Amino acid sequence: MIRTYVILSVLLTAIALAASLVLYPQLPAKIPIHWNIHGQIDGYGDKSWGAFLMPAILAGLMLLFAVLPWLSPKPFAVDSFRETYWFIVLAITGGMVFIHALILRAAVAGPIDITRALLAGVLLMFGLIGNVLGKVRRNFWIGVRTPWTLANERVWNDTNRLAGRLFVAAAVVGLPLLLLPVHQLALTIVVFILIMIAALGPVIYSLVLYKRLERRGEV
């Protein structure tokens, strides 16, 4: 599956670039590149670089993700979870390509209700990552990397399992909410809270667990 994940990630990056090239003649001189919390466009960029910014970032990330396993110190190598590593790379790539598609859609068709679509993409990406996060072993690049998780394997494993469950829970709770006729600002705030709980909760948990094990003399 590793090869499949790598190929799909490269293919998605190529599709993002191809979409920009094909749509380039139809794009206005200035294209939207940023939206505010209300879902309104508040930033534009020249299409000469705005149309290719995301594909360039994706290409750079692909190179970075390919090099990171080689850079890893032996005790923190990604070899033991390389398939999961590349699945997460694929999930991140897919999320960024989706954002790029929304930018091109807005540039070609005019203002769109981007808030719900963007929130859905983010939640889905976090849900997919969360589903495999418990398989990630100690490393310097992905997962919940705190001083306490890096210092102890049990703290790492327990913390990342918790983070995975919280990420999936955020997606399970948040995605249905996006279907409700709720104001965009309220939805944004709720989803932001869900993501913050999923992101910060495990950090606090890792400290509490490490100190508990430390008192017991187990670290």
At residue 205, the 3 state secondary structure works out as helix
Report the SS3 class of residue 85.
Answer: helix
Domain boundaries, the chain: 1-112, 114-219
Would the pLDDT of 135 be above 90? yes
Secondary structure class of 30 (helix, strand, coil): strand
Mean pLDDT of 57-80: 92
177-204, pLDDT tens digit by residue?
A: 998 888 888 888 999 999 999 999 999 9
User: Alpha carbon of 30 to those of 2, 5, 103, 110, 194: distances in Å?
Assistant: 39, 34, 12, 12, 34
> What pLDDT, on a 0 to 100 scale, did the predictor assign at position 74?
85
pLDDT of residue 49 exceeding 90: no
Tell me the average pLDDT of the chain.
92
Task: Give the model's pLDDT for residue 38.
Answer: 72
Residue 141 three-state SS: coil
Residue 32 or 204, more confident: 204
Q: Is the pLDDT of residue 120 over 90?
A: yes
Which pLDDT belongs to residue 42?
A: 77
For residue 79, the tally of other CB atoms under 10 A from its CB is: 11
